Structure 1
Amino acid sequence: MGAGTEPEGSSRSDEEWERFLRESVAGTADAPKEPSARARDVAKRLRSEPDRGPEPWRAYTPARPKRRTGWYVAGLAASLVLLVLAFVPGLAGGLFGGADTSPPTAETERPTQAPPVEAAQRPTADEPFRGSPAVNWASGAAGITVPKAGRTGWMSAAEVGRALTRSRDFLVASALDRGVLRGERPEKAIALINPYQKDVQTLLKTAFRTPSEKYDPLLLFSRFQPSRAHLVGDVVKTRGRLTYEEGEQGALQVTADVTFVYPVTRADASDADGDDADGGDDAVSEDDEIVRTIVRRELVMSWDDPDKVITEPGTFSIVSYKYDMTNGGCGAPTGYFTPPFGTAPQTDGSVTEVDPYDRSAPLGRPESAEDECGRATRS
């Protein structure tokens, strides 16, 4: 080995050896340092734990959700209930303990069944329709559905529309007018009837003077005797419809099928609270008995072609009329409805039971029961 050379196989110079020795004594930034006591403790703890593999860079491991089986089942059940109610809204009342207060859709054709039975509740002065299907019905003329007008017989569509409006006006003037309901003569309604129809004019002239089975104003008009009964509140509930078709000799034939619900109380009960001098409706106390008189009417009106039938413009001829009534009195006709205040209903099977809210069947009782006073199964 010559002077200034490294052992065989080494290529380091004398300068490099001197720098290496100098740095070994002084130390450098890259030189390894003895770990601190805290670092030794951490290293010892890590060696004692099982190896879980390398941790990814910027990794986020979300916490595993706890199982909430009870809440999941309850939420699923609630969703199913809401889905059923969406398709069958009438079930809401039964499920949640209250009556279904949503108004029914307008009646455009004869229903297929009677309305559901409401929970038995006593009517009050503030809620005279409580406990009956009428509580959700429309009020007054709003409950009478008028169909879309189209050309029929001798009338154009516009003329049919006016005739339908006047047909409904007759129902309002004959069965909803406040004065008529208090016993006044129905002048507005009479003005819409063909004055040349002799049999009907005979009825009108006789019925108000000497009511009888044949000539009874109740056949066409709703009236209460002010000395016996007063209406409760300002609302009469209605449900029904008008339909039309071409009649004889090209006439427009309009059929009305409407149910009217009148809440009334004793006149003497109202008088105790102070009777109005003009015969108006009086205040009703919570203790007063309230009876609902329910009347379903079917009236067929013919708007005749004046070139073929003698008639007055703007009037109709009556083809037929009939009505069914419950809680309106029995016995000899008086020209007024006479609600049965304070009368216990008969339950011995001697009377015909009638559901006055069932509009699914044609109007009229069986022939064997025509002379009987029917008992309402609900009011």
Structure 2
Amino acid sequence: MGAGTEPEGSSMSDEEWERFLRESMAGTADAPKEPSARARDVAKRLRTQPGRDPEGWRSYTPTRPKRRRGWYVVGLLAALVLLAVALAPGRMVDLVTGDDSDSTPLASETARPTQAPPTGSAQRPTEKEPFRGSPAARWANGAAGITVPKAKAVGWMSEAEVERALARSRDFLVSSGLDREVLRGERPEKAMALINPHQKDVQVFLKTAFRTPSEKNDPLYLFSRFQPSRTQLVGDIVKTRGRLTYREGERGALQVTADVTFVYPTTRADAGGDDEIVRTVVRRELVLSWDDPDKVITEPGTFSIVSHKYDMTNGGCGAPTGYFTPPYGTDRRADEADKEIDPYDRSAPIARDKTSGGECKKATRS
């Protein structure tokens, strides 16, 4: 407070203040006393907040206890989770492990993976969810799972011609491994029409394989077929994962390599609603040559087969019949496999050439 100024918060008039100063200096006994700081503060609050009672100097107002709403919310959520687990335990496990068919799909495969997919839950497949408990649950459906690279000019082909050749290479994979009529045992006419009719060894293989299947000449090396009187597919979806790559081959040809895994959920042809579901898993590696017609005898829009490799599990281990024969029930014990493999592991190429006859393999998971 500066000298000669009204003290902050005082309610005294100028005349009373001057009188107070005179009487204080004169030592008058009944001189008015200067209000205390607390009194001035109370007076100021009364002027600025009329209608409210002043808070007591040493008064105490207890704080309201906080409502513990957070704990109630947590408890409610926990109860809901327990209820969901009790009603649908398998569904909840799928959601946690990522094996649920509605979980986020994997990105397209553009290069060879470095390791096998992780092991998920041991949930059994069902008619509504035939890929449940399998890495294939997150794979794409049908042709969408086959990655086609961007086209560039190679050898004798322009960029546009390479693009068409890649599309037809993919068409062959679709016609040979996804066509519903072929899967039901029909001859793969559309797929065979894309093979160079002047490639004599392959044409002999095709004629022999469908007439008298054997370990050396088995149509399953190139085509997926099930005998409808014995086996039926579950649902309309086949899961796939794989890719096409290409480079320049011999005589300036466009050489396309396909590496694709197909997963077929199957059950007995006479199955009821709750019958066993077995997934037949097939992986094929094909090398196709789109030859320069000026250097190789060929037909427009066709390719020659350079090589083909094939791995299969849960497709039967008996004598070749030209059809996959998934084992059900006691048939599983009768199928004696030569060795075990993980059919979903795409981190390494197929080990051997199946044209010389194949060995039966048991799946470590399906």
TM exceeds 0.5? Answer: yes
8 Å CA contact 2:215–2:358 kept in 1: the answer is no
- Which secondary structure state, in structure 2, belongs to the residue aligned with residue 135 of structure 1? helix
Deviations 1:30-60 (A, max 9, x none): 999xxxxxxxxxxxxx98xx9599488879x
**Residue of structure 1 in register with 2:316 after alignment:** 329
Q: Distance in 1 between matches of 2:177 and 2:192?
A: 12
How far residue 99 of structure 1 moved from its aligned partner, in angstroms, is 2.0
Q: Distance in 1 between matches of 2:157 and 2:138?
A: 36
Q: Distance in 1 between matches of 2:331 and 2:225?
A: 23
Structure 1: gaps (5+ residues): 1-29, 33-45, 72-92, 270-283
How far residue 130 of structure 1 moved from its aligned partner, in angstroms, is 0.5
8 Å CA contact 2:310–2:353 kept in 1: the answer is no
- Which secondary structure state, in structure 2, belongs to the residue aligned with residue 294 of structure 1? strand
**Residue of structure 2 in register with 1:37 after alignment:** none
Q: Distance in 2 between matches of 1:66 and 1:245?
A: 75
**Residue of structure 2 in register with 1:246 after alignment:** 248
8 Å CA contact 1:183–1:224 kept in 2: the answer is yes
**Residue of structure 2 in register with 1:5 after alignment:** none
Aligned length: 295
Q: Distance in 2 between matches of 1:328 and 1:136?
A: 22
Q: Distance in 1 between matches of 2:128 and 2:121?
A: 18
Structure 2: gaps (5+ residues): 1-14, 18-34, 50-62, 71-91
TM normalised by structure 2 equals: 0.72
**Residue of structure 1 in register with 2:292 after alignment:** 305
**Residue of structure 2 in register with 1:361 after alignment:** 348
| 2:144 aligned to which of 142, 145, 149 | 142
Identity %: 71
Larger radius of gyration: 1
How far residue 116 of structure 1 moved from its aligned partner, in angstroms, is 1.2
8 Å CA contact 1:345–1:375 kept in 2: the answer is no
Q: Distance in 2 between matches of 1:53 and 1:191?
A: 105
Matches within 5 A, 1:174-253: 174-253=176-255
How far residue 267 of structure 1 moved from its aligned partner, in angstroms, is 1.2
| 1:161 aligned to which of 144, 163, 175 | 163
- Which secondary structure state, in structure 1, belongs to the residue aligned with residue 270 of structure 2? helix
Does 2:304 align with 1:317? Answer: yes
Q: Distance in 2 between matches of 1:150 and 1:288?
A: 49
- Which secondary structure state, in structure 2, belongs to the residue aligned with residue 97 of structure 1? helix
Does 2:131 align with 1:129? Answer: yes
**Residue of structure 2 in register with 1:260 after alignment:** 262
Deviations 1:48-75 (A, max 9, x none): xx9599488879xxxx99999xx8xxxx
8 Å CA contact 2:266–2:277 kept in 1: the answer is yes
Q: Distance in 1 between matches of 2:236 and 2:167?
A: 23
**Residue of structure 1 in register with 2:120 after alignment:** 118
TM normalised by structure 1 equals: 0.70
Q: 1:192–1:65: structure 2 CA closer, same or farther, 3 Å change rule?
A: farther
8 Å CA contact 1:143–1:240 kept in 2: the answer is yes
CA RMSD in angstroms comes to: 3.6
Q: Distance in 1 between matches of 2:112 and 2:39?
A: 77
**Residue of structure 2 in register with 1:7 after alignment:** none
